[in-house]
Amino acid sequence: MGSADISPRLAYLGLGNMGRVKLSLVSIRRRTELIDEQAMCGNLVKKGNLGSPLILYNRTASRAEQLAQELGNCSVANSAPEAVASADIIFTCLTDDDAVLKLFRQILDSDVTGKLFVNCSTTQPAMSDDLAAMVEKKGAGVVTMPVFGEPSMAEKGLLICVPAGKADLVDRVRPYCTGVYDLFLSSGYVVD
């Protein structure tokens, strides 16, 4: 961002795993994540006070295109590095450690200096620490922000998020959580 009065551009990477018909705990969990992520993107678009369209990226491009069409005020990137190159604050919401590592290895091949990553993915604590080290080494910042709640809570903007990271970075994320999350809890892990 060049000026304090220019809103940062936001991107959202990872839009869930749709199309699982088999009723199992894993497929139900993945459908729940899809609803949460659609609702989170929708709330960002509607309530996030965005100065420019939300950039969407998903490995299955048709999911991002469909969601962009449904929500409006979104653009679709053809790749994760393209989404990151155009954004200042990048939300990621992926299913596990392996997916997060794969995505960030791809992203961190590019210049990410000054960007802020907000990882809402389902990961192990050690992965969060490793990710922070990888991102900071490339000159970017990271806030780990697990999200809790049911799909209906996501749709209503009632999710609970627990950000962890450097205080100034958590403060940069906070305005985009208004109306998206009902409760923005301090994790106790805010670094000055």
Q: Is residue 54 within 8 Å of residue 10, measured between CB atoms?
A: yes
77 versus 20: the higher-pLDDT residue is 77
What's the pLDDT band for 179 if we cut at 50, 70, 90? low
Average pLDDT over residues 93-100: 90
Alpha-carbon distance of 140 to 178, in angstroms, equals: 23
What's the pLDDT band for 3 if we cut at 50, 70, 90? very low
Angle CA 33–39–43, to nearest 5: 145
Pairing of strands 159-161, 147-148: antiparallel
Looking at residue 26, what is its pLDDT? 38
